[in-house]
Structure 1
Amino acid sequence: MDENQIIHIDLDSFFVSVECRSNPCLLGKPVAIGGSSERGVVASCSYEARKYGVHSAMSGRLAKQLCPELLFIRGDYDSYSKASLEITEMINEAAPVFEKTSIDEFYMDMTGFDDFNGTLEYSKELRQRIIKETALPISFGMSKNKTVSKVATGLAKPNNYKYVNFGDEKSFLAPLSVRKLPMIGEKAGESLRKMGIKKVFTLQQMPLQLLQSAFGKHGTMMWEKANAIDNSSIIPYTERKSLSSEETFDKDTMDIGMLECLLVSMTEDLCFKMRNENFLTGCVSVKIRYSDFNTYTQQIKISYSSSDHELIPQVKMLFKKLYNRRMLIRLIGVRLSKLVRGHQQIHLFNDNENHIQLYQALDNINNRFGNKSVHRAVTMGINSRSFNPFNGISS
């Protein structure tokens, strides 16, 4: 039976790299992509900026304090999306199976493709081809599973590669900080530090039961990753085109207050699903079907986002434009289209730190205790209704 051969690919400082490709004058300078330096958030930054302590999801104001010479660029998500599509097509041609986890991150499953060294050479050639044809830096890691390959990529950066031989996975991870492991963030890392666990080696030696007692299921995950155990498979890439939600009423209605609350609830659900699947939307649509079965839609293009507070006002505005016949309504719906891959927490150019922290907290709670565990008070009554929030989802 062939050993797994998993390649993790990550585009280095992707947004900044695309901007530098368009404007070579930015090369070698501390650059940040995001909103204004006064209220925005750093979505991506160059390695020159990172030397000053600047990092993604940091407020623009703090970034500017750390690096007064920092050049802020508003960013153009359309150009990033096009560059991502260009690379996706090249990977699609080269890999038997691949998974796209964000706009700039991929996994390839090359199991059975060739012997280990043959696959490594093939991956190196693919990397060189991408660099040559796109003029964008790219790094990759190769090992027997997704966890080790992702860690290897992080150590290979910038613009390089690293492979871990079969059987060397645990020794490769052992001397690293526990923060290098995927899914171990700042809070979990601090909790481990208080337990005297700073290096992966120590985490490898910890009794599993102790970690489970302290962290629950997350403790099991941390122990398995530390010990290079990861049986997760590559999810074949298929790009979702849209997300939608609609409801047909048992009895036609003109209750505008209820209808607006339902639209808010639908939008919350769709935004939550987008963030969980690493999508952003560039187009919002609202649909109304009147009691005479005539159906109307309105849509608007927006800056790419997956934030409730940005999309809900657009949905309400479209509904007000549509509802002009003063007739009973049979059906309403919301559709989010022009979806592109992107992490909400660092890709919103008009967001701020408070919004980012709020959505991270809300999503963590709703993922742990179930969707709608926390929601807007205005939808309290709506969420007790029995309707399918994802009726009509398409891809």
Structure 2
Amino acid sequence: MITLQHRTIAHFDLDCFFVSVECLHDNSLKGKPLLVGGKSDRAVVAACSYEARRFGIHSAMPMKTALRLCPHAIVRSGDMEQYSYFSRMVTDTIAEKAPLYEKASIDEFYLDISGMDKFFGSLKWTSELRSLIMKRTKLPISFGLASNKMVSKVATDEAKPNGQLEIPFGFEKSFLAPMPIDKIPMVGKETAAQLRRRGVETVKTLSEIPIGLLEAWMGKNGITLWNKANGIDDSPVVPYYEQKSISTENTFHADTIDVQFMQRELVRMTEKIGFELRQQEKLTGCVTVKIRYSDFETVTKQISIPYTACDHVLLSHVKALFEKLYDRRLLVRLIGVRFSHLVQGNYQINLFDDTQEMIALYQAIDSIKDQFGAEFLMRGCNVKNGETSEKQILPFLKESGGTMRKRYHGR
């Protein structure tokens, strides 16, 4: 019987994924400082090559800053459709071979291959899968093999670029020990600075701090941090096929053929579950629209899309599906929207041609919805005849002392 501590977990990560796809289409880009993102000064870097990183460039950096650091960098606007295509190709290849896998993001996968060493040899099997992925996609991919997800992820980072690394069971702690503390997943700049102020520079030092003291410093996160520093991580590989969709639907009080009303409802529902996507830090790769007519006949139509969580992108697909699906001769009883094929990811990676202001706008909208509820902000098309609802704005007016009343009604 295989116990939890004797698991065998492989972590696969496509190296500089967006950059690698761009280089696949244009060989002349290989070995050069390449930035993927919007081309305007106000855009941000979605991804950058290793050559660009040597100049101090990193993802999410303003493009203007990146080009100041490396004026001769090459900029590509990005093609989410192509990135989604290759992500799905890798997913399909892993699905063919792996007994249990989790798609952690558009370019990152965890595989639980516990017990397979009895039949194939875990390292040999994983190496052959990596070779198959590279043969099919022509893209570089690295993997780490260890007894848990956290150590395998760190091993992958150490194996890059385009390499592989196995950490045998029992060597997790010694593998992590000499590394700087920010090599541990979950240790960001603030946590690292807090630990360094206390003289903690390496994972070894962190692992030797009494767990109670770390808990006193950082609360429950201190316990998690101690476990990671000691190479302990019991988190399971979540089967990809069990990833749930996000959906919503509305049964009308009276059957209708009012197209404008139904379109307003589609906008409202899309914004609602688009917000849920971003809250969960997920992207969707498939949009479905559902219509139920008054005779209870139910029809659906779906489309695979480049991974996104941006309302303005999702709305265009939802509206297009509705136009193709709706029979204007029949009364409608219910409409619904579903997002599926979900993967972990930040919605900002889809904003290749958008400015920092667009990203800031999404962040501001989501921040307000977090505070006052998802129904507080809506697109203008959902406010019938220019009317505003006191019920919708009252909580915010109370919170802000009424200071927003004039601005709200004046828009």
Q: What TM-score, normalized by structure 1, do the two folds share?
A: 0.78
The range that moved more, 205-214 or 241-250, is: 241-250
Match of 2:282 among 274, 278, 281: 278
Q: Could you say if the C-alpha distance between residues 249 and 138 of structure 1 is closer, same or farther in structure 2, counting changes exceeding 3 Å?
A: same
> What amino acid maps onto 2:249 in structure 1?
E
Identity between Structure 1 and Structure 2 (%):
49
1:246 aligns with 2:249: yes
| Structure 1 Cα separation of the partners of residues 301 and 239 of structure 2 | 33
Tell whether the 8 Å contact from 1:258 to 1:382 is kept in structure 2 after alignment. Answer: no
Tell whether the 8 Å contact from 2:286 to 2:302 is kept in structure 1 after alignment. Answer: no
> What amino acid maps onto 2:7 in structure 1?
N
User: What are the within-5 Å matches in structure 2 for residues 162-177 of structure 1?
Assistant: 162-177=165-180
Q: Which structure 2 segments of 5+ residues have no match?
A: 379-388, 395-411
**Partner residue of 2:376?**
377
**Partner residue of 1:99?**
102
How far is the alpha carbon of 1:212 from its aligned partner? Answer: 2.4
How far is the alpha carbon of 1:334 from its aligned partner? Answer: 3.3
The range that moved more, 185-194 or 273-282, is: 273-282
| Structure 2 Cα separation of the partners of residues 92 and 81 of structure 1 | 16
| Structure 2 Cα separation of the partners of residues 315 and 89 of structure 1 | 26
**Partner residue of 2:16?**
13
1:71 aligns with 2:70: no
Tell whether the 8 Å contact from 2:45 to 2:63 is kept in structure 1 after alignment. Answer: yes
| Structure 2 Cα separation of the partners of residues 169 and 267 of structure 1 | 45
1:227 aligns with 2:226: no
> What amino acid maps onto 1:279 in structure 2?
L
| Structure 2 Cα separation of the partners of residues 180 and 104 of structure 1 | 20
Match of 1:218 among 207, 216, 221: 221
How far is the alpha carbon of 1:314 from its aligned partner? Answer: 7.8
**Partner residue of 1:27?**
30
SS of residue paired to 1:85: helix
The range that moved more, 80-89 or 371-380, is: 371-380
Tell whether the 8 Å contact from 2:144 to 2:152 is kept in structure 1 after alignment. Answer: yes
How far is the alpha carbon of 1:114 from its aligned partner? Answer: 1.3
| Structure 1 Cα separation of the partners of residues 195 and 300 of structure 2 | 52
How far is the alpha carbon of 1:309 from its aligned partner? Answer: 6.0
SS of residue paired to 1:99: strand
User: What are the within-5 Å matches in structure 2 for residues 152-167 of structure 1?
Assistant: 152-167=155-170
1:130 aligns with 2:128: no
| Structure 1 Cα separation of the partners of residues 245 and 193 of structure 2 | 39
**Partner residue of 2:381?**
none
> What amino acid maps onto 1:213 in structure 2?
A
| Structure 2 Cα separation of the partners of residues 192 and 59 of structure 1 | 29
Q: What TM-score, normalized by structure 2, do the two folds share?
A: 0.75
SS of residue paired to 2:353: coil
Which has the greater radius of gyration?
A: 2
Tell whether the 8 Å contact from 2:291 to 2:336 is kept in structure 1 after alignment. Answer: yes
| Structure 2 Cα separation of the partners of residues 257 and 191 of structure 1 | 54
Tell whether the 8 Å contact from 2:38 to 2:352 is kept in structure 1 after alignment. Answer: yes
Match of 2:47 among 44, 56, 59: 44
SS of residue paired to 1:36: coil
> What amino acid maps onto 1:377 in structure 2?
F
The range that moved more, 72-81 or 6-15, is: 72-81
How far is the alpha carbon of 1:337 from its aligned partner? Answer: 6.0
> What amino acid maps onto 2:208 in structure 1?
Q
1:355-394 CA-to-partner distances (Å, cap 9, x unmatched) read 557767988999xxxx77654633695799xxxxxxxxxx
Q: Could you say if the C-alpha distance between residues 306 and 165 of structure 1 is closer, same or farther in structure 2, counting changes exceeding 3 Å?
A: same
Tell whether the 8 Å contact from 2:275 to 2:374 is kept in structure 1 after alignment. Answer: no
The range that moved more, 241-250 or 135-144, is: 241-250
| Structure 2 Cα separation of the partners of residues 127 and 317 of structure 1 | 38
| Structure 1 Cα separation of the partners of residues 303 and 151 of structure 2 | 43
